[in-house]
């Protein structure tokens, strides 16, 4: 017993000595963070025949918790086909907390050439430009709706028994032909909009993006991360270029799914196909990629977002959407 006590005593002395040596080797290290000067940030994404809004803020360090600082004293000049547009005001829009410069005397038109110049006191002149694209050409539109009924087993923990669940899922198949212009590179965005009447609010309507499926190996392979062995996209916004379909009358088919609980409040669906500028496409492309964060030992690595702003960062672009009301034929399955 005495020998065991001696062994434990020696072991404790050795461990204490090692700890003292290690502690004496500690050296405080100051972590230096990159100190970036704030840049002017321009946010202006508009549509043909709609009001143009421009938001100006200063950039911030991506680890900062501070809110973005609004720029309220800028001189904003917009030229359309070489002519200066007057009547640009500054203030809040509706219930939004964000503050915008609003162009009151002009709405974008197809093929207009736009030049934006922004002078912020104490900063370099910020500039950008874009040409408004034409609306896409679509033909042979067809839409059919149906209900998919399903039955499956589920465990009821309150009743402590296995129960049979029966429900239905509303779906619609939408097919159309996209007539791509062979004379130039084209960039597209597809959305499905639902007009909802929410029963809890009187006379309240809301237009919301609906999720849809697109099974197309040719178009989904470039941008989106698709499950291996599948070509199916599922989301509420699909962007693509005409690189692989240039000049073709390309047939497309997508599927809208909406559970009955939500469908009873949605009385109208629209197919929205927009032609984008190349800058807008690249901006959305990098924004989509940034959602797939690359995790490192220090956390999520920030992704560089495309910018078309000289002496600043951000996006200045106009898209040309074609909004098509879906006349859905009933086809119960």
Contact 177, 139 (CB under 8 A): yes
Find, among 188, 167, 176, 191, the residue nearest to 269 by Cα: 191
> For all residues of the chain together, what is the average pLDDT?
79
Tell whether 145 and 127 lie within a shared domain. Answer: no
Mean local confidence (pLDDT), 209-238: 73
Contact 211, 186 (CB under 8 A): no
Give residue 176's pLDDT band: very low, low, confident or very high (50, 70, 90).
Answer: very high
Task: Report the pLDDT value the prediction gives residue 249, as an integer from 0 to 100.
Answer: 97
Q: Is residue 156 part of a domain?
A: yes
pLDDT digits (tens, 9 = 90+) for 186-195: 999 999 988 8
Domain finish residue from 108, 131, 154: 131
Give residue 256's pLDDT band: very low, low, confident or very high (50, 70, 90).
Answer: confident
Domain finish residue from 91, 116, 131: 131
DSSP state of 124: P
Domain finish residue from 74, 107, 131: 131
Q: Concatenate the DSSP letters of all residues of 2-58 into one string.
A: HHHHHHHHHHHHHHHHHHHHHHHT----PPPPP-PPP-EEEEEEEETTS-EEEEEEE
Sign of the alpha-carbon dihedral angle for 225, 227, 230, 234 = negative
Task: Report the pLDDT value the prediction gives residue 164, as an integer from 0 to 100.
Answer: 81
Mean local confidence (pLDDT), 315-322: 97
pLDDT digits (tens, 9 = 90+) for 5-45: 554 455 455 555 555 555 555 444 443 444 468 899 999 99
Task: Report the pLDDT value the prediction gives residue 67, as an integer from 0 to 100.
Answer: 77
Q: Is residue 24 part of a domain?
A: no
Tell whether 120 and 144 lie within a shared domain. Answer: no
Task: Report the pLDDT value the prediction gives residue 294, as an integer from 0 to 100.
Answer: 41
Q: Is residue 177 part of a domain?
A: yes
Q: What is the rounded distance in angstroms from the CA atom of residue 141 to the CA atom of residue 268?
A: 16
Q: What is the rounded distance in angstroms from the CA atom of residue 101 to the CA atom of residue 53?
A: 6
Helices and strands per DSSP (H, E), number in the chain = 4, 21
**CATH number of the domain to which 121 belongs:** 2.60.40
Q: Which of 122-131, 138-147, 196-205, 246-255 has the lowest mean pLDDT?
A: 196-205
Tell whether 114 and 205 lie within a shared domain. Answer: no
Tell whether 240 and 117 lie within a shared domain. Answer: no
pLDDT digits (tens, 9 = 90+) for 236-252: 889 999 999 999 999 99
Exposure of 53 by Cβ count < 10 A (0-12 exposed, 13-18 middle, 19+ buried)?
Answer: middle
Tell whether 253 and 230 lie within a shared domain. Answer: yes
Tell whether 44 and 188 lie within a shared domain. Answer: no
Tell whether 224 and 315 lie within a shared domain. Answer: yes
Residue 330's alpha-carbon distances to 127, 139, 146, 211, in angstroms, are 51, 21, 6, 20
Find, among 321, 222, 310, the residue nearest to 277 by Cα: 321
Comparison of pLDDT for 209 and 191, the residue scoring more: 191
CB within 8 A of 237, min separation 6: which ones? Answer: 189, 190, 191, 209, 284
pLDDT digits (tens, 9 = 90+) for 53-101: 999 999 987 666 777 889 999 999 999 999 999 899 998 776 667 789 9
Tell whether 243 and 317 lie within a shared domain. Answer: yes
Q: Is the pLDDT of residue 298 over 50?
A: no
Tell whether 222 and 109 lie within a shared domain. Answer: no
Of the chain, the percentage scoring pLDDT greater than 90 comes to 45
> Residue 215 is part of which domain span?
137-330
Task: Report the pLDDT value the prediction gives residue 145, as an integer from 0 to 100.
Answer: 81
Confidence (pTM): 0.76
Tell whether 223 and 304 lie within a shared domain. Answer: yes
Task: Report the pLDDT value the prediction gives residue 293, as an integer from 0 to 100.
Answer: 45
pLDDT digits (tens, 9 = 90+) for 141-173: 999 887 777 777 788 787 788 888 776 677 889
Give Dmax (Cα) for the chain: 100
Mean local confidence (pLDDT), 126-149: 91
Q: Is residue 11 part of a domain?
A: no
Residue 48's alpha-carbon distances to 45, 52, 193, 225, in angstroms, are 10, 9, 18, 31
Q: Is residue 28 part of a domain?
A: no
Q: Is residue 304 part of a domain?
A: yes
Q: Is residue 146 part of a domain?
A: yes
Number of domains within the chain:
2
Tell whether 118 and 230 lie within a shared domain. Answer: no
Most confident listed range (94-98, 217-221, 316-320, 329-333): 316-320
Tell whether 230 and 294 lie within a shared domain. Answer: yes
Q: Is the pLDDT of residue 138 over 60?
A: yes
Mean local confidence (pLDDT), 127-136: 97
Task: Report the pLDDT value the prediction gives residue 296, as an integer from 0 to 100.
Answer: 39
Q: Is residue 102 part of a domain?
A: yes
């Amino acid at each position: 017993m005495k020998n065991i006590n001696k062994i434990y005593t020696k072991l404790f002395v050795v461990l204490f000595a090692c700890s003292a040596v290690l502690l004496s080797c500690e050296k405080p290290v100051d972590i230096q963070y990159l100190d970036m000067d704030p840049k002017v940030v321009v946010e202006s994404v508009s549509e043909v025949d709609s009001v143009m809004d421009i938001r100006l803020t200063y950039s911030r360090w991506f680890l900062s918790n501070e809110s973005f600082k609004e720029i309220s004293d800028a001189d904003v000049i917009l030229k359309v086909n070489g002519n200066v547009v007057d009547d640009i005001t500054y203030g809040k829009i509706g219930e939004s907390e964000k503050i915008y410069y609003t162009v009151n005397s002009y709405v974008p038109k197809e093929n207009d050439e736009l030049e934006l110049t922004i002078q912020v006191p104490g900063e370099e002149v910020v500039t950008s430009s874009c040409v408004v694209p034409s609306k896409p050409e679509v033909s042979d539109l067809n839409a059919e709706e149906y209900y998919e009924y399903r039955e499956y087993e589920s465990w009821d923990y309150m009743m402590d028994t296995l129960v049979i669940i029966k429900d239905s899922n509303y779906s619609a198949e939408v097919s159309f032909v996209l007539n791509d212009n062979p004379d130039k590179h084209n960039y597209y965005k597809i959305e499905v909009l639902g007009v909802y009447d929410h029963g809890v609010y009187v006379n309240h309507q809301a237009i919301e993006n609906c999720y849809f499926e697109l099974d197309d190996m040719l178009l989904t392979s470039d941008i989106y991360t698709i499950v291996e062995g599948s070509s199916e996209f599922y989301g509420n916004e699909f962007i693509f270029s005409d690189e692989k379909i240039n000049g073709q009358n390309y047939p497309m088919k997508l599927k809208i799914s909406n559970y009955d609980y939500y469908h009873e409040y949605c009385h109208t669906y629209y197919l929205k196909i927009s032609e984008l500028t190349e800058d807008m496409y690249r901006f959305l492309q990098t924004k989509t990629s940034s959602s797939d964060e690359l995790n490192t030992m220090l956390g999520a690595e920030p992704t560089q977002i495309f910018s078309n702003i000289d002496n600043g960062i951000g996006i200045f672009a106009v898209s040309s959407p074609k909004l098509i009301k879906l006349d859905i034929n009933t086809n119960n399955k």
